[in-house]
Chain A
Amino acid sequence: MVDGNPLEAAETVVKMRGIVKQFPGVVANDHVDFTLYRGEIHALLGENGAGKSTLMNVLAGIYRQEHGHVYIHDREVHFSSPRDAIMAGIGMVHQHFMLVPSLTVTENILLGLDEPRFVMNLDRYDQAIAALSEQYGLRVDPKAKVWQLSVGEQQRVELLKMLYRGAEILILDEPTAVLAPVEIDELFLTLRSMVANGKSIIFISHKLNEVLAISDRLTVLRRGQVTADGIPLQGITRRDLARLMVGREVIFEFEKQAHATGDDVLCVENIWSKNDKGLDALKGVSFSIKAGEIVGIAAVAGNGQSELAEVVTGLRRSSKGTVRILGEDFTNSPVRRGIQFGVGHIPEDRTHVGTAPNLDVTDNVIMKNYAREPIGHGMVVDMGAAHSFAKDLRALYDIVVPNIDTPVRLLSGGNLQRLILARELSGNPPFLVAVQPTRGLDVGAIEGVQRLLLKQREEGAAILLISEELDELLRLSDRLFVFYEGEIMGEITNVHTNDDELVEQIGLMMTGTRMDELHLETEGASHHD
């Protein structure tokens, strides 16, 4: 570390040591250490599912760690609720705001506090809050109702809420995800004024540009483990960050057999589509997949890849462009038609989309073929056929569950994913969309899932693989597209697993550099070094 760094002398406000937090089937934090100094902006970087939010939820008293210790101002603390954390001066601003739309800004800020007790002299509090917002440059009208505010203003209310509660340590969970570029600049100014006032900030993000722009030090998590522990930002390039964040650890190698590919199965031309907020998520994407080919999409979460999966399966409308499957026009056709065509879809969200948690294993495995022979007869579901189908799949895909009438909410993540795979692969789909097929699974389960996907490829399926695990994409894909903000940054046709150069290129493209700009960037970076 650099000598004379003012932060070295600074006082430690948060010290987390050896934090372990597990969820069924996943170790979200595996002996994580984290240190925060007073008056710094500390970035917590990592891909989705790397354990950033879990770690911060432990600090904010929302989760309790299984092992490890948390020290605030060098005193060990045991939070049993968010309130305990707030009393210790820790405030967290979540990605999804926790505000009451019909109340005013002041009312929202006062919610849940002991003062005022009964009589609300709102004018007095309005003034106090106006003064506070003045001090930190958080411009917002205390009398405005929250529903009238823009997203950026609502975020300011959340920040004010924490400051009003006397938070010294602020945790911001991907604060820029919802903001427009101008608002991001304003937020950064505010954050600067906060640290100038002696606050300490933890900034959770997976956007390299922002981390480089705002933070003093950073900690990087990958798969629940620390890959960089509080390193200062001087001399760090985007390239280094990409490597730390994406990482590469080849656990096992497959022999991916080269084999002849067939005709185009999926053909997407100039697709445009909007996300749930009504903004363009896909901006003119075109590509195709042949039979027997796995095409990977590499992107940081929220760059249009989820919307792409929904558009090609019929779950989301495209505003422009065409989708063709096996030569037939599938643009904006209902989901049902794709299912009848045999399109398989392993969705990103296995509990909220992929399964019905309170229904049993049988009901969940027949989700796609309940209407077809031999399970559907006329208007009736043949439960005998459905049960034997479920039993066959349980044996074939090794789903560990005592009974096929067990509700699937009791299944572990790995078993639930095997159930979805069993359902989607059992019909030998000509076209398969797999979104994050191995997220949150342990090594053994990952290998099993990846082998199943390769088997489908050998049997001639066209597979669209969307993953945030670069490792997985490199291992499975025949070709790879890198997405950034709904556009294709580049196509990689010679995919190798052991190529650091390639990983760096992909990392740069994932953060917004087009393939044809790569050379300039590389040279710029080397000069900088």
Chain B
Amino acid sequence: MTELSVKPGKKSFFPYRIGLEPRMAQVSSWLPASLSLGAVVVALMIGALILALGGGNPWATYAHIARASFGSLGVLSDTLVKATPLIFIGLACSLAFRMRMWNIGAEGQFYMGAFGASAIVLLPVLPAEAPRWQFLILMAISGMFFGAIWGSLPGLLKAKFNVNEVISTLMLNYIAIAFCNFFIFNVWSEGGFQMSPKFPKNSWLPRLTDYASTVPEFAGLTTHAGFILAVLAAVVVWFILHRSKWGYEIRLVGDNKRAAEYAGIRISRNIVFVMMLSGALAGLAGMSEISGVVHRFQGAISPGYGFTGIIVAWLAKLNPYAVIPVSILFGALILAGREIQPSGIPKMIQGIILVCLIASDFFLRYRVRIRKQVEA
């Protein structure tokens, strides 16, 4: 129990063996932060090495990525636009993962949210000349509602029949996309094109560029109110998790299910509700994307936000506040993908950062000792 050897039992050729001891004392609070930072630095160095081997100039590449994502107000604004759905989905995943519900279905819940928001305009529920606040509130509610339904289905299946949520949420992604495509290709298709007509302007989330007449610097900036909504959502999720009774139950179930049963917590109910809220958050991401960026219902609205959001949640260590900066970093990498050829480079960097950060966790739990091989 107390030690794991790298090569159990086999006579090692080397005179030393690396021993690992679990850390028994509480680690100081700076260690996790500095480890994460160190992991990112190591990841960038590995990335640089690969770039150099490929014949590229790593420093120029990094500088270019930085410029392409944070170099000017314009690209910074684009980065925030990309970060917005990631924050919502990062929060959706953080919430579910806190209870060890592995919601891999944020992509489908995102699409259902986009569908729900679009239905308000396209059915139409509201006339085209309705005031903007009515549009936005109804679209948000409808987006969250459809996302919540899509999330609660696997939740119910898990609670009632113990169906593995990884499989059910993953499969529901494909159903959601096919469901949306039916409306995109058929019902709401504009003249046979694979997209709906453009929404009226009063169903758009306000953008910075809309205020260019008063603040000239905002001209052309596409950051929309969804970003503010996402930051507010982070505060709400943090409050739920750390200050509410329900959040306490979620954390208790997530850490020790048997202790939660012993404390009288209704686990099945919590599974359904957590999946519902998780789906609602992902649905809100869909609404914000439709109403803030795309302004019509169409296919391929997500470059895999639902899956990147899983990585975001994981890197943020399921901390709702940390989801925001991590999402901005990933938004930057998505954006840089359009600037850099081949576009796989930022994806590769994403992957290396993820692997390094997850690997660095190991050092939080274990202390590495090198000791001399004992003769057996």
Q: Which of B241-268 contact A (CB under 8 A)?
A: 242-248, 251-252, 255-256, 258-266
Q: Which of A313-349 contact B (CB under 8 A)?
A: 314-315, 334-339, 345, 347, 349
Segment from B5-13, B86-94, B198-206, B322-330 that makes contact with A: B5-13
Name the residue of chain B whose CB is nearest to the CB of A335. B264
A146–B10 alpha-carbon span in the complex (Å): 29
**Which residues of chain A have C-beta atoms less than 8 A from B265's C-beta?**
336
The answer on a CB contact under 8 Å between A406 and B26 is yes
**Which residues of chain A have C-beta atoms less than 8 A from B3's C-beta?**
64
A326–B171 alpha-carbon span in the complex (Å): 51
- Which of B1, B10, B266, B376 contacts A77, CB < 8 Å? B376
The answer on a CB contact under 8 Å between B243 and A380 is yes
The digit string for A348-365, where 1 denotes a CB below 8 A from any CB of B, is: 010011111111000100
A126 close to B (CB within 8 Å): no
Interface size on B, residues (CB 8 A): 33
A64–B376 alpha-carbon span in the complex (Å): 13
The answer on a CB contact under 8 Å between A357 and B246 is no
Name the residue of chain B whose CB is nearest to the CB of A63. B1
With known contacts A63-B1, A379-B245, A410-B25, A367–B256 Cβ distance under 8 A: no
A131–B25 alpha-carbon span in the complex (Å): 53
The answer on a CB contact under 8 Å between A84 and B9 is yes
- Which of A345, A380, A402 contacts B244, CB < 8 Å? A380
A472–B9 alpha-carbon span in the complex (Å): 43
B24 close to A (CB within 8 Å): yes
Consensus secondary structure, chain A interface: loop
The answer on a CB contact under 8 Å between B255 and A381 is no
With known contacts A82-B9, A84-B9, A407-B26, A381–B251 Cβ distance under 8 A: no
Q: Which of A381-414 contact B (CB under 8 A)?
A: 381, 383, 402-403, 406-407, 410
**Which residues of chain A have C-beta atoms less than 8 A from B258's C-beta?**
349, 352-353
The answer on a CB contact under 8 Å between B259 and A367 is yes
The answer on a CB contact under 8 Å between A410 and B24 is yes
B5 nearest CB across to chain A (Å): 6
**Which residues of chain A have C-beta atoms less than 8 A from B264's C-beta?**
314, 334-339, 368
A-B pairs under 8 A by CB, number:
103
With known contacts A379-B245, A380-B243, A336–B266 Cβ distance under 8 A: yes
**Which residues of chain B have C-beta atoms less than 8 A from A410's C-beta?**
24-26
The answer on a CB contact under 8 Å between A359 and B255 is yes
The answer on a CB contact under 8 Å between B244 and A381 is yes
Name the residue of chain A whose CB is nearest to the CB of B262. A353
Q: Which of B1-40 contact A (CB under 8 A)?
A: 1-3, 5, 8-10, 24-26
Name the residue of chain B whose CB is nearest to the CB of A368. B263
The answer on a CB contact under 8 Å between A356 and B255 is yes
A62–B9 alpha-carbon span in the complex (Å): 11
**Which residues of chain A have C-beta atoms less than 8 A from B24's C-beta?**
24, 410
Name the residue of chain B whose CB is nearest to the CB of A310. B262
The digit string for B22-60, where 1 denotes a CB below 8 A from any CB of A, is: 001110000000000000000000000000000000000
- Which of B2, B10, B251, B261 contacts A83, CB < 8 Å? B10
B367 nearest CB across to chain A (Å): 14
With known contacts A347-B262, A352-B258, A368-B263, A81–B245 Cβ distance under 8 A: no
A371 close to B (CB within 8 Å): yes
The answer on a CB contact under 8 Å between A354 and B376 is no
**Which residues of chain B have C-beta atoms less than 8 A from A125's C-beta?**
none
The answer on a CB contact under 8 Å between B25 and A345 is no
- Which of A78, A357, A358, A380 contacts B374, CB < 8 Å? A78
A80 close to B (CB within 8 Å): yes
**Which residues of chain B have C-beta atoms less than 8 A from A376's C-beta?**
245
**Which residues of chain A have C-beta atoms less than 8 A from B8's C-beta?**
80-83
The answer on a CB contact under 8 Å between B246 and A379 is yes
A196 close to B (CB within 8 Å): no
Name the residue of chain B whose CB is nearest to the CB of A359. B255
A206–B262 alpha-carbon span in the complex (Å): 29
The answer on a CB contact under 8 Å between A356 and B256 is yes
The answer on a CB contact under 8 Å between A363 and B252 is yes
Name the residue among B2, B245, B248 with the largest chain A CB count within 10 angstroms.
B248
Name the residue of chain B whose CB is nearest to the CB of A61. B9
Size range of the chain A interface in the assembly: 35 or more
**Which residues of chain A have C-beta atoms less than 8 A from B9's C-beta?**
80-84, 87
A482–B141 alpha-carbon span in the complex (Å): 61
The answer on a CB contact under 8 Å between B245 and A355 is no
**Which residues of chain B have C-beta atoms less than 8 A from A335's C-beta?**
261-264
A114 nearest CB across to chain B (Å): 10
A407–B375 alpha-carbon span in the complex (Å): 38
Name the residue of chain A whose CB is nearest to the CB of B255. A356
The answer on a CB contact under 8 Å between B263 and A381 is no
The answer on a CB contact under 8 Å between A356 and B245 is no
A394 nearest CB across to chain B (Å): 15
A380–B375 alpha-carbon span in the complex (Å): 60
A94 nearest CB across to chain B (Å): 14
The answer on a CB contact under 8 Å between B261 and A84 is no
**Which residues of chain A have C-beta atoms less than 8 A from B260's C-beta?**
356
The answer on a CB contact under 8 Å between A356 and B259 is yes
A82–B10 alpha-carbon span in the complex (Å): 11
The answer on a CB contact under 8 Å between B376 and A84 is yes
The answer on a CB contact under 8 Å between B248 and A355 is no
Q: Which of A72-108 contact B (CB under 8 A)?
A: 77-84, 87
A70 nearest CB across to chain B (Å): 12
B268 nearest CB across to chain A (Å): 12
The answer on a CB contact under 8 Å between A359 and B252 is yes
With known contacts A336-B264, A356-B252, A80–B259 Cβ distance under 8 A: no
The digit string for B321-360, where 1 denotes a CB below 8 A from any CB of A, is: 0000000000000000000000000000000000000000
A71 close to B (CB within 8 Å): no
The answer on a CB contact under 8 Å between A353 and B259 is yes
**Which residues of chain B have C-beta atoms less than 8 A from A79's C-beta?**
376
A188 close to B (CB within 8 Å): no
A356–B258 alpha-carbon span in the complex (Å): 9
The answer on a CB contact under 8 Å between A80 and B261 is no
A308–B250 alpha-carbon span in the complex (Å): 29
B165 nearest CB across to chain A (Å): 21
**Which residues of chain A have C-beta atoms less than 8 A from B26's C-beta?**
402-403, 406-407, 410
A370–B242 alpha-carbon span in the complex (Å): 12
The answer on a CB contact under 8 Å between B261 and A315 is yes
A92 nearest CB across to chain B (Å): 15
The answer on a CB contact under 8 Å between B256 and A355 is yes
Name the residue of chain A whose CB is nearest to the CB of B24. A410
**Which residues of chain A have C-beta atoms less than 8 A from B376's C-beta?**
77-80, 84
B305 nearest CB across to chain A (Å): 29
With known contacts A315-B262, A410-B25, A381–B245 Cβ distance under 8 A: yes
**Which residues of chain B have C-beta atoms less than 8 A from A366's C-beta?**
248
**Which residues of chain B have C-beta atoms less than 8 A from A403's C-beta?**
26
The answer on a CB contact under 8 Å between B262 and A345 is yes
A255–B261 alpha-carbon span in the complex (Å): 37
> Which residues in A have some Cβ–Cβ distance to B below 8 Å?
24, 62-64, 77-84, 87, 314-315, 334-339, 345, 347, 349, 352-359, 363, 366-368, 370-371, 376, 379-381, 383, 402-403, 406-407, 410
18 contacts between A and B (CB under 8 A): A79-B376, A80-B8, A84-B376, A87-B9, A334-B266, A336-B265, A337-B264, A338-B264, A339-B264, A352-B258, A356-B251, A356-B256, A357-B255, A359-B251, A380-B244, A381-B244, A381-B245, A410-B25
Query: Given A356-B260, A363-B252, A381-B245, list of 4 further CB < 8 A pairs?
Result: A334-B266, A355-B256, A363-B251, A371-B245
Q: Which 4 A-B pairs have the closest CB atoms?
A: A83-B9, A336-B264, A356-B255, A335-B264
